[in-house]
Amino acid sequence: MGDEGFRFELPKAGIIKGVRAQDIEVVGEKVVNVRVRAKPYSNTYTPEQLERVAEVAERYGSGKVHLSPRHNLEIPEVGSRKLTEALQELFAAGLQAGGSGTSVRNIFTCADYCPMRVRSVRELGAMLSELFGDMPLPNKFTVSLAACPAGCSRPWNVDIGIIGVAELLVEPERCEQGCDACVEACPVDAVTLKGGLRIEQERCVRCARCARACKSGALRMARTGFRVVIGGKEGRTVAFGQEIAEMAGDYEVIELVDRVIRQYRKMARRRDGKKYERLAEVLQRMGGAEAFMKG
């Protein structure tokens, strides 16, 4: 058996140009910031992983750790000569560099333990991360999954937003007189009891809070799925996602993400001498999500 040993390849994504701070002395080398996340995907970190990040930050950086909006842990001011060594220690703790550059940024989900969730998103988020995470694209590309329409993971302001929604089964004859738990639970005033139990569809956001509050079974979740929106963005200009699916299943979501990414790669144009369009700009140029999906 050979003595080559395990080869650790320096990742391309997740290494960001650093700025030398006043409180760190680095002689004869560049300083970079290291952005890491759990691998395989997880929207939580273990205490052991956090301890390792702290140790690496102290040993190879300036002792600082930043939590990014996309759930990455960023270690600033790491000396480039110690970069591989630092990444090896993080890798052994189940942490991998990623989530930067012109690629699919860290795909992230809201908390899976939230009592308001309509549908679990952690497993689907892990699958999407495995399939598309860090994939090179014309510009940065963000994907977020929300377990309910409250959208704590900001699905409306990313390139692809995936939102858990419910289809309700309404049986007014089972409604108990004098109970208004469903009315109290609805955050958008879509439930009315005047003249019998009724859901105002133009108001309903399909969060199923009314069904969870109902004790008589007059309101129940018939099925759950995902609303998929594309073309959102944050930054100097803000755009909200446009719907391409109203009630998609798990596998259909994977197919849609794949299709949108392939279309974006094909349709994106240079907007100036260097950078390519973001997905929101492609949709604006083409006249919306429907025209984009038709290609």
Q: How confident is the model at residue 24 (pLDDT cuts 50, 70, 90)?
A: very low
Q: Encode pLDDT of 105-127 as tens digits.
A: 989 899 888 999 999 999 999 99
Give which of 193, 199, 252, 264 is closest to 228, Cα–Cα: 252
Pairing verdict, β 66-67 and 108-109? unpaired
Name the average pLDDT for the chain.
90
Of the pLDDT bands very low, low, confident and very high (cuts 50, 70, 90), residue 144 is: very high
Q: How high is the pLDDT of residue 127?
A: 96
- 45 close to 54: Cβ distance less than 8 angstroms: no
Task: Among 6-15, 38-47, 68-77, 176-185, name the one with the lowest average pLDDT.
Answer: 6-15
The 10s digit of each residue's pLDDT in 192-242 is 998 899 999 999 999 999 999 999 999 999 999 999 999 999 988 999 999
Number of H helices, E strands in the chain: 8, 12
b/e code 20-55 from CB counts within 10 Å (16+ = b): eeeebebeeeebbbbbbbbbebbbebeeebeebbee
What pTM value is reported for the model? 0.89
What class, spelled out in words, does domain 15-97 have in CATH? alpha beta
- 108-294 CATH: 3.30.413.10
Residues 125, 151: Cα–Cα separation, whole Å: 15
108-294 matches 15-97 in CATH topology: no
Q: Where are the domains of the chain?
A: 15-97, 108-294
Band (pLDDT 50/70/90 cuts) for residue 143 is very high
Judge contact between 125 and 43, C-beta under 8 A.
Answer: yes
244-268 mean pLDDT: 97
